[in-house]
Chains A and B, each alone.
Chain A
Amino acid sequence: MNIIIISTIAMGGLGLFFSVILAITNKKLYVKEDPKIEKLLEELPGANCGACGNASCHDLAQKIVKGEAEPNSCPVADSEISGKIANILGVESKEVITRVAIVHCGADEIKRKKRAVYIGGETCRVADIVGGEIACSYGCLGYGDCVDVCLFDAIEMIDGLPVVDLVKCTACGQCVEVCSRNIISLETFDKKSLPATIAIACNNPDKGAVVRKICEVGCIGCSLCERNCEDGSFYMEGMLALIDYSKVYNCEHWDLVIEKCPTNTIQRLAKESKVLV
């Protein structure tokens, strides 16, 4: 009987002692959190992709509440979500600029010229250590690291080339970071023009003769596109053509430019007319 009483007192005492200590520390170390942060977190994608420049969605929510970041700072969220975020904060929302990932290589499995047989780890980052199979040292290695890293299931390998689903793509930038050959970039678009998205499918800055030897679709730097659209929507950087997406849809001949390109380096990305709303 005695032992029961003693153990009850001992355990009760211990429990009481620790609950008092916990209560005190809780008071002392209490972290005040704005209830708005929780609400914002529910609206944010929660993928913690880091595209906004913060370590996590929680960090961004904190900054938005503090006013250090705009309600539309999340590149993944569409305008509906940023509208909701603005509603929670009680401010007016701004239109989100649409950005998507664009792949700058057009050498698919058939067009890709090989310079060696590669046996080894089947990831781009491993293959790039020795250069992989592809002859072009700027082109896509084709092992799909970008597909694996995509949090939104927006990249698919078709004929050994990554194809970005422009609807699903949220421009989080994970693929840009993982690509060992830096052939993916984020481009800014006007939403209405997205269905007709075009891209320079080459990233090789070498001279025309060199490029022609190793790739069928590589940009040879003929500057025909630059001359056809005089407003600067296509421009040359060294021996590589680039597109200024803020101007290109004002150029009347951009349709023609695609046809005129001798190596078909300028390509339409949205093959099936995916209409974005």
Chain B
Amino acid sequence: MNIILIFIAATIVNNIVLTYFLGICPFLGVSSKIESAIGMGLAATFVMTLAATVTWLIYHYILVRFNVPFLEYVSFILVIAALVQIVEMFIRKTSPELYRALGIYLPLITTNCAILGLTLFMVLREYNFLESVVFGFGSGVGFTLVLLIMAGIREELEFADVPEAFKGAPITLIISGLLALAFMGFSGIISTS
């Protein structure tokens, strides 16, 4: 039961993008087309799940055990960077089309604050191993979901009569604000902290 709650909380209620406003760079950068949004979402979900798994192991079996938990920031960054490199090589080998579609945003997952954020949340909330994995996966699904919603809206937006001054980034930011407001409607359904 707890696992399901964590998953729903990570996906919808405490959505990493719209509640914590982490990972805004790919959220605004790769959300202009549904296709690339799905690709980016899947890549991020994969990295998030993997990062949550590996960082939990490292935190509990190395950092806590040797009593150096202050190393969490630097070691987590190291883990995420290495994981993204591996994922990048893997995608490049298996699907060159997806690799090119993701472009610069794939290496940018390295410095994506959403991923570092979720690993730090995981430590802060004292999740056990299974909970961490579910939390990482749920955050990834939430990220993909929001990216998809945004891409859908922005594809429709191409036909809309937007005032000249709001074209491009401004209207996108306004929409993400409105989306965040909408997602706040979920708050309080599940209390996590």
Contacts and interface: CB of A to CB of B under 8 A. Distances in A.
Contacts of A125: 159
B159 A121 contact: yes
Interface string B62-80: 1100111011001100110
Interface stretch (A18-26, A106-114, A206-214): A18-26
A120 B82 contact: no
A10 B161 contact: no
Contact of B93 (A6, A21, A31): A31
B32 to A, nearest CB: 15
A29 B92 contact: yes
Given A6-B66, A10-B66, A21 B82 contact: yes
Interface in B39-66: 58, 62-63, 66
Interface stretch (B83-91, B140-148, B174-182): B83-91
B58 A14 contact: yes
A55 B90 contact: no
Given A31-B93, A56-B100, A22 B71 contact: no
Interface in A1-21: 3, 6-7, 10-11, 13-15, 18-19, 21
A69 interface: no
Nearest to A6: B66
A58 interface: yes
Given A29-B89, A29-B92, A14 B159 contact: no
A7 B68 contact: yes
B189 interface: no
A150 to B, nearest CB: 16
A262 B82 CA distance: 73
Interface of B: 58, 62-63, 66-68, 70-71, 74-75, 78-79, 82, 85-86, 89-90, 92-93, 96-97, 100, 159-161
Interface of A: 3, 6-7, 10-11, 13-15, 18-19, 21-22, 25-26, 29, 31, 55-56, 58, 120-123, 125-126
